[in-house]
């Protein structure tokens, strides 16, 4: 059995595997390259994995993050997540990486020990997402900033109606409108998003939200929510730049939180970032708390390092 086949079997039997590490999710998002995995066993049982997205540029092979895969990195079964047990396993996973020019991954939250990577010459940057533990809705409302609770949310609710459904074309159009207005390329192509959306829909792991004007019917904002067994993730959101002042984007985030709590019954809502200051401030207004994760990198090729520096 290949490592990739063993990884697929591991996905079927591991209850707390994050969404972005699921084999079917990797199948959908690893565009422009291919994915594989390092695996470690105890006896015949797989106890740890390290999936990676392998790309090629000229004669360089490198590991990068796939589009819309927020976190990857090593994943060990819970009983192996203590230094005495995990360090040998992490070393085995590193040993199985192919020959590379460079490596960059954002590690999932369970990958809290990157020391074996440090000892091998990798470097790390701490990054933050914002996560909202889901208590009763009354408590969640109390934890909103006063401006959101008393001003922005009521103002938006008086102007727009929130919908859910399967209109991916509408989502894509509104999400990309702000990029188009600036003359920028859309972050992801429609065929890519369509493939991912189909995979998520097949696994009943996504919902699309949009807000329409109560008078004109114009779409103010859109949002795309995905989830696994532990948490929902606010994967993408966007506004019509001309209608952003309504606050519909804030209302959609609140409705996605409500959906996560009341419909999905999950314990956490993850904003999936962001390190960008204006966006980070919005996350805090919802009462979400910082959750650190690691960005781990290494370059082996000096030519790669120089070329990357010149392209910045």
DSSP result, 113-167: --HHHHHTT-EEEEEEEEEEE---HHHHHHHS-HHIIIIIHHHHHTTEEEEEE--
User: Do 301 and 256 reside in the same domain of the chain?
Assistant: no
288 in a structural domain? no
**Last residue of a domain, which of 231, 250, 266?**
266
- Of 66, 91, 79, the closest CA to residue 16 belongs to 79
CB 297 within 8 A of CB 291: no
Q: State the CB neighbour count (10 A cutoff) for residue 26.
A: 25
pLDDT tens-digit map of 195-230: 999 999 999 999 999 999 999 999 999 999 999 999
194 in a structural domain? yes
Alpha-carbon gap, residue 174 to 186, rounded angstroms: 11
279 in a structural domain? no
Alpha-carbon gap, residue 75 to 13, rounded angstroms: 13
- Of 105, 139, 138, the closest CA to residue 21 belongs to 105
pLDDT at 197: 97
pLDDT at 283: 84
Q: Which residues of the chain have pLDDT under 70?
A: 182, 307-312
Question: The domain containing residue 192 runs over which residues?
Answer: 135-266
pLDDT at 27: 97
Q: How many domains does the chain have?
A: 2
Strand partners, 102: 62, 299
CB 259 within 8 A of CB 225: yes
Residue 253 belongs to domain with CATH number? 3.40.630.30
End-to-end CA distance of the chain: 42
pLDDT at 182: 66
272 in a structural domain? no
168 in a structural domain? yes
pLDDT at 282: 79
281 in a structural domain? no
User: Do 54 and 173 reside in the same domain of the chain?
Assistant: no
Alpha-carbon gap, residue 237 to 98, rounded angstroms: 36
User: Do 114 and 149 reside in the same domain of the chain?
Assistant: no
CA distances (Å), origin 80, targets 47, 99, 114: 8, 27, 14
pLDDT at 308: 67
User: Do 176 and 228 reside in the same domain of the chain?
Assistant: yes
């Amino acid at each position: 059995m290949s490592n990739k086949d063993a990884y697929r079997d591991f996905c079927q039997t591991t209850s707390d595997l994050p969404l972005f590490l699921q084999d079917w999710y990797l199948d959908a998002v690893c565009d422009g390259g291919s994915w594989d995995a390092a695996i470690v066993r105890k006896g015949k049982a797989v106890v740890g994995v390290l999936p990676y997205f392998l790309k090629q540029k000229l004669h360089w092979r490198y590991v990068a993050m796939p589009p819309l895969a927020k976190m990857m990195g090593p994943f060990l079964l819970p009983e192996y997540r203590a230094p005495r047990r995990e360090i040998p396993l992490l070393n085995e996973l590193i040993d199985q990486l192919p020959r590379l020019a460079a490596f960059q991954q954002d590690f999932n939250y369970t990958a809290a020990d990157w020391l074996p990577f440090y000892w091998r010459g990798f470097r790390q940057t701490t990054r933050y997402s914002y996560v909202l533990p889901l208590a009763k809705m009354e408590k969640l409302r109390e934890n909103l900033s006063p401006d959101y609770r008393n001003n922005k949310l009521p103002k938006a609710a008086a102007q727009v109606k929130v919908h859910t459904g399967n209109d991916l074309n509408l989502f894509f159009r509104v999400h990309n409108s702000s990029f188009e207005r600036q003359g920028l390329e859309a972050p992801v192509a429609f065929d890519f998003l369509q493939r991912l959306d189909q995979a998520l829909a097949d696994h009943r792991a996504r919902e699309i939200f949009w807000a329409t004007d109560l008078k004109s019917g114009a779409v103010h904002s859109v949002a795309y929510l995905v989830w696994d067994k532990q948490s929902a993730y606010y994967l993408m959101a966007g506004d019509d730049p001309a209608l952003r002042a309504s606050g519909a984007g804030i209302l959609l985030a609140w409705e996605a939180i409500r959906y996560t709590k009341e419909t999905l019954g999950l314990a956490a809502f993850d904003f999936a970032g962001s390190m960008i200051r204006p966006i980070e401030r919005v996350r805090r207004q919802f009462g979400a708390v910082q959750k650190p994760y690691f960005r781990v990198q290494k370059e082996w090729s000096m030519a790669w390092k120089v070329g990357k520096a010149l392209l910045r």
